[in-house]
C-alpha cells in the first residue's frame, strides 16, 4: 500500500471528500449478517463512520499517521496501524472486510491472501468506490482538464492501473469467484471552497509549496464560477460496491 500518498492531505480529505449513502450500508448489512467488520485502508474514517450505524464490531486499519489521527477520534472502534496486506488481525476473525476508496492502492494479490486469512468461513469482501459520473457533468470534465494541465501525476479511473471500465471487468471476472453488485447515485453539492478542497485532497494535486499552486487553484475557481448557480455546483458521483468471495 502507498502509505504516504495522503500525508498532509488528511484534513482536506475529511472535510471535502464525498460520503457514502445509507442504502449501501443497508445492503451490506442485509447481505452479510455478520458480527465483526474490518475496514481496511480506512483513511480518516469516512466509511468507518457509516459502518458504526449498524450493530457491528468495527476495526479500522490505516497505516498513514495523518489520516489515522482523525480516524482515532471515532468512538466505539478499534484502530490498527498497519497496511492492507498485513493487518495484524487474528485468523478467521471477521465476517466482512471493507475497502472504500482504497483498493486501488493495495497489492491486490497480497490483499486477497490477507483477506482469506482473516475472514471467517463464508466471509465477504466489499470493494467500494465513489466514482465521478461525467455524463452531463461539464464541471467535472473541466476540473480534469485543469488537473491534466498542472498535475504531472494526474490520473483517472483506478489510479492509472485501469480505467473504471477495466476495473469493473477485473473485479467481476478475475478477482472474485462470486460477486454481488450495488450502485447508486451519490451526488455532491459544493460551494467554491468545497469544490477546490475536494480537488486538493486528491493524491495527485499540487500542494501549497509546489510551483504553480496559485495558478492551479485560480483555474479551479474559474471553472467553478463558469458552472455555478446560486453559489453551488453539483458534482455527479456514483457509489459502486463489489461484494464478493474468493
User: Which residues are 56's β-sheet partners?
Assistant: none
Angstrom distance (rounded) from CA 235 to CA 140:
7
- Answer yes or no: is pLDDT of 160 > 90: no
Task: Check if the beta carbon of residue 114 is closer than 8 Å to that of residue 107.
Answer: no
Residue showing cell 476473525: 93
Q: Which residue is listed with cell 500525508?
A: 7
Cα 195 from Cα 189, distance rounded (Å):
9
Contact 41, 10 (CB under 8 A): no
pLDDT digits (tens, 9 = 90+) for 12-45: 999 999 999 999 999 999 999 899 999 999 999 9
Distance CA 40, CA 62 (A): 7
Residue 60 DSSP code: E
Query: pLDDT tens digits for 149-159?
Result: 999 888 766 65
- Rounded CA-CA distance 42/98 in Å is 9
pLDDT at residue number 208: 92
Contact between 107 and 48 under an 8 Å Cβ cutoff? The reply is no
- Per residue in 180-208, pLDDT tens? 999 999 999 999 999 999 999 998 999 99
Q: Cα separation of 53 and 22, whole Å?
A: 9
Contact of 136 with 236, CB cutoff 8 Å: yes
3-state secondary structure 90-136: CCCCEEEEEEECCHHHCCHHHHHHHHHHHEEEEEEEEEEEEEECCCC
pLDDT reading at 1 higher than 70 = no
Amino acid at each position: 500500500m502507498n502509505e504516504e500518498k495522503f500525508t498532509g492531505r488528511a484534513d482536506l480529505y475529511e472535510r471535502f471528500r464525498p460520503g457514502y449513502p445509507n442504502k449501501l450500508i443497508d445492503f451490506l448489512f442485509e447481505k452479510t449478517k455478520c458480527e465483526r467488520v474490518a475496514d481496511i485502508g480506512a483513511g480518516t474514517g469516512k466509511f468507518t463512520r457509516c459502518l458504526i450505524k449498524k450493530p457491528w464490531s468495527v476495526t479500522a486499519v490505516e497505516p498513514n499517521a495523518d489520516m489515522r489521527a482523525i480516524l482515532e477520534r471515532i468512538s466505539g472502534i478499534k484502530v490498527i496501524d498497519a497496511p492492507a496486506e498485513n493487518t495484524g488481525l487474528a485468523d478467521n476473525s471477521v465476517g466482512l472486510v471493507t475497502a472504500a476508496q482504497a483498493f486501488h492502492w493495495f497489492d491486490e494479490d497480497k490483499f486477497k491472501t490477507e483477506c482469506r486469512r482473516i475472514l471467517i468461513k463464508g466471509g465477504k469482501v466489499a470493494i467500494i468506490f465513489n466514482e465521478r459520473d461525467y455524463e452531463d457533468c461539464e464541471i467535472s470534465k473541466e476540473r480534469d482538464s485543469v488537473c491534466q494541465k498542472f498535475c504531472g501525476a494526474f490520473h483517472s479511473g483506478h489510479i492509472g492501473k485501469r480505467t473504471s471500465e477495466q476495473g469493473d471487468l477485473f473485479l467481476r471476472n478475475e478477482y472474485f469467484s462470486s460477486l454481488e453488485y450495488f450502485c447508486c447515485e451519490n451526488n455532491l453539492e459544493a460551494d467554491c471552497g468545497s469544490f477546490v478542497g475536494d480537488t486538493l485532497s486528491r493524491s495527485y494535486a499540487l500542494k501549497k509549496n509546489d510551483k504553480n499552486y496559485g495558478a492551479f487553484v485560480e483555474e479551479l475557481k474559474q471553472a467553478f464560477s463558469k458552472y455555478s448557480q446560486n453559489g453551488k455546483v453539483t458534482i455527479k458521483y456514483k457509489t459502486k460496491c463489489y461484494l464478493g468471495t474468493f
